Amino acid sequence: MKQISTLVLVCLLWYAHAFSQPANRYDIIIDELMADPSPQQGLPNVEWIELRNNSGSAINLAGWRIGDASSLSGPMPAYILQPDSVLLVCTASAVAVLSAYGPVVPVTSFPSLDNTGDLIYLRSPQNKTIHAVGYSDQWYQNELKKEGGWTLEMIDVKNPCTGAGNWKAGTDASGGTPGRPNSVKATNPDIDAPVLLRAFAIDSLNIRLIFSETLDSGKAATAGNYTLSDGIGTPVSAQSMAPLFDQVNLRLNTPLQRNRIFTVTANAQSDCAGNLIGDRKVVRVGLSELALGSDIVINEVLFNPRSGGSDYVEVYNRSKKLLDLKNIYLANRNTTGQVANIYPLAPDHVLFFPSEYKLLSTDLANVKKEYFAADPEALLELPTLPSYNDDEGIVIVLNDQGLVIDELAYSSAWHFKLIDNPEGVSLERIDPSAPTQQPDNWYSAAGSVGYGTPGTRNSQYRMGEELKGEVKVTPEIVSPDNDGTDDFATIEYNFPSPGYVANIIVFDANGVPVRYLQRNALCGISGNYRWDGLGEKNQKLPIGIYIFYTEIFNLNGKKKRFKNVIVLARRS
């Protein structure tokens, strides 16, 4: 009897120790989750997560909770999770069907797991975030399996704070491995250094930093590890933000000033695997302003992608303002002409600096596959874009007050006439300062760049020049082969007053008119027209010398004539 009493006492003491022992981060991890159980592959049609004890000690899960971005479950019942053991957690109604796969505990208000773009975390009774997973359907790394019926599994449980690179769809025929070792189990250490991706100002005294991965929370919360330019210096405090610990809030002593751009540097940071931050530790920040008309312009549109591809829209900040893409929207118009299908350009705060480009698409992987994207940070993936038809449509940019900042009613007829198949060919803006709705300000992206320049300066870019003469034609040699170099001639004019009317005729070397480029065109004080090397019936003209005959007159009857000579060439 004494031996039994002693054994009971030892068990009670062990149980109490296990219950009272506070867990550290990553002692318990989420190593598998079923977010989208339908269509079923073999597992029950219910959502669940699997917890693994990654520590060397037994841990009592009494009072632990599961949360997501918008809710927190009730407390777990008492359950001793042994080292290197797993436990399924779900809603009470799913316990019966999951019990066949291993130990299961229910919680009230079990969070609904979104099919993509959700955050799930595990919180101890001490209100400490032990592990968090912010997943998306891209983590499956499999286009078929992300449609449902398969679990997301952690590859290396010893590398729990790495995101997408340490997760993939399960390979077990049933669709997952609840209660068993993960089917994708492998050694997958974190060797990548953390990167400071961007920053934004919450207000003049508070800045949020966004990193590429989970940080060592102690170093992240050390104010002395950060400095700001222009006399701001070291912040007063730094706070590492739960549950993912990949963001840091800085509180400043000196407020940021408007209309100024600062730099912030993050020193001595490391991820939870100990990798030290490298050279990518400096970003710009400042106070954003409201975008107004023409601050942002539509710069490139792909509305007829290749099979399997997706539309994209590129915008350009031609103002001197610092803008926030979270407060700017893409839209189109419905059949009644009303602004419709409004979507934000960014789900979170993303600063848009002067003279920057941003490319918006629902499938960046396809964009990178089809085109050369020189600046990956200029590419933003959105869950949804407005619909843009292959033949013609309307692209609208709005600010958060509903004001139209820029609008383009495009047409496939604006493409280079000799392109046989316009699929996969974007329309590029030639001059950011010229009117958006001017057809002559748009041209097909050059074949030499793969017919698109997402996130970078357009292949057909040409900024209008202030002319010293009255009429000027450039370049001297034009080669309209859509290679991005001298594909068209620009007739630029500059007059002392408005009200001039222009007739422009293109003659060949024999004096035969081959193109009536403009007839009684009302001119502004300055502007330009374009010739694409084609004849009056859009036919391909032979190489040789051509003369631009321009006649200008005004309402007072005054006239002036100009002749400009260029050479039409073609590459062999």
Query: pLDDT value at position 227?
Result: 98
- If asked whether residues 343 and 398 sit together in one domain, one would say yes
DSSP letter for 474, please: E
Query: pLDDT value at position 151?
Result: 98
- 418 in Cβ contact with 482 (< 8 Å): yes
The CATH number for 232's domain is 2.60.40.1220
Q: What is the average pLDDT across 481-487?
A: 88
Return d(Cα 174, Cα 168) in angstroms, integer: 15
- If asked whether residues 162 and 235 sit together in one domain, one would say no
Query: pLDDT value at position 324?
Result: 97
- If asked whether residues 163 and 25 sit together in one domain, one would say yes
411: containing domain: 296-449
- If asked whether residues 442 and 493 sit together in one domain, one would say no
Query: pLDDT value at position 556?
Result: 60
- If asked whether residues 86 and 147 sit together in one domain, one would say yes
For residue range 24-78, list pLDDT tens digits in order: 999 999 999 999 999 999 999 999 999 999 999 999 999 999 999 899 999 999 9
Q: What is the average pLDDT across 291-308?
A: 95
Return d(Cα 265, Cα 11) in angstroms, integer: 52
pLDDT surpassing 80 at residue 501: yes
- If asked whether residues 302 and 401 sit together in one domain, one would say yes
- If asked whether residues 439 and 379 sit together in one domain, one would say yes
Provide the CB-side half-sphere exposure for 520 (13 A, CA). Answer: 1
Examine residue 12 and state whether it is found in any structural domain, yes or no. no
- If asked whether residues 234 and 90 sit together in one domain, one would say no
Return d(Cα 119, Cα 6) in angstroms, integer: 46
For residue range 365-409, list pLDDT tens digits in order: 999 999 998 788 899 999 899 999 999 999 999 999 999 999 999
Examine residue 175 and state whether it is found in any structural domain, yes or no. no
Length of the chain: 572
Stretch (H or E) spanning 530: strand 526-531
Among the residue ranges 4-13, 394-403, 410-419, the one predicted with the least confidence is 4-13
Bridge partners for 228 per DSSP: 233, 264
Examine residue 466 and state whether it is found in any structural domain, yes or no. no
The CATH number for 377's domain is 2.60.40.1260
- If asked whether residues 310 and 435 sit together in one domain, one would say yes
Q: Both ends of the chain: CA-CA distance in Å?
A: 103
Interacting residues of 286 by C-beta distance below 8 A, sequence separation 6+? 201, 256, 260, 261, 262, 322, 351
Examine residue 9 and state whether it is found in any structural domain, yes or no. no
Bridge partners for 316 per DSSP: 297, 357
Examine residue 182 and state whether it is found in any structural domain, yes or no. no
The CATH number for 525's domain is 2.60.40.4070
Query: pLDDT value at position 500?
Result: 79
| Number of domains, the chain | 4
Q: What is the average pLDDT across 5-10?
A: 44
Task: Report the number of secondary-structure helices (H) and strands (E) in the chain.
Answer: 4, 38
DSSP strand E in 161-261: where?
167-169, 196-203, 206-211, 226-228, 237-240, 247-251
Edge to edge, the sheet with strand 489-494 lists 471-474, 489-494, 526-531
Predicted confidence band at 21 (pLDDT cuts at 50, 70, 90)?
low
CB atoms closer than 10 angstroms to residue 518: 18
- If asked whether residues 310 and 433 sit together in one domain, one would say yes
Domain endpoint, select from 251, 285, 319 = 285
For residue range 538-570, list pLDDT tens digits in order: 999 999 999 999 988 876 666 788 999 999 998
Residue-wise DSSP of 438-467: -GGGEEEPPGGGTS--TTS--TT-------
Examine residue 5 and state whether it is found in any structural domain, yes or no. no
Interacting residues of 554 by C-beta distance below 8 A, sequence separation 6+? 497, 499, 500, 501
Examine residue 493 and state whether it is found in any structural domain, yes or no. yes
- If asked whether residues 419 and 338 sit together in one domain, one would say yes
Predicted confidence band at 221 (pLDDT cuts at 50, 70, 90)?
very high
Domain endpoint, select from 255, 285, 315 = 285
For residue range 170-190, list pLDDT tens digits in order: 999 999 999 999 999 999 999
Predicted confidence band at 263 (pLDDT cuts at 50, 70, 90)?
very high
Predicted confidence band at 2 (pLDDT cuts at 50, 70, 90)?
very low
In the chain, the percentage of residues whose pLDDT exceeds 90 is 81
pLDDT surpassing 90 at residue 470: no
Examine residue 2 and state whether it is found in any structural domain, yes or no. no
For residue range 52-61, list pLDDT tens digits in order: 999 999 999 9
pLDDT surpassing 50 at residue 6: no
For the chain, the average pLDDT equals: 92
Domain endpoint, select from 449, 483, 504 = 449
pLDDT surpassing 60 at residue 7: no
pLDDT surpassing 60 at residue 18: no
Interacting residues of 456 by C-beta distance below 8 A, sequence separation 6+? 357, 373, 374, 375, 378
- If asked whether residues 200 and 259 sit together in one domain, one would say yes
Predicted confidence band at 525 (pLDDT cuts at 50, 70, 90)?
confident
Stretch (H or E) spanning 520: strand 513-522
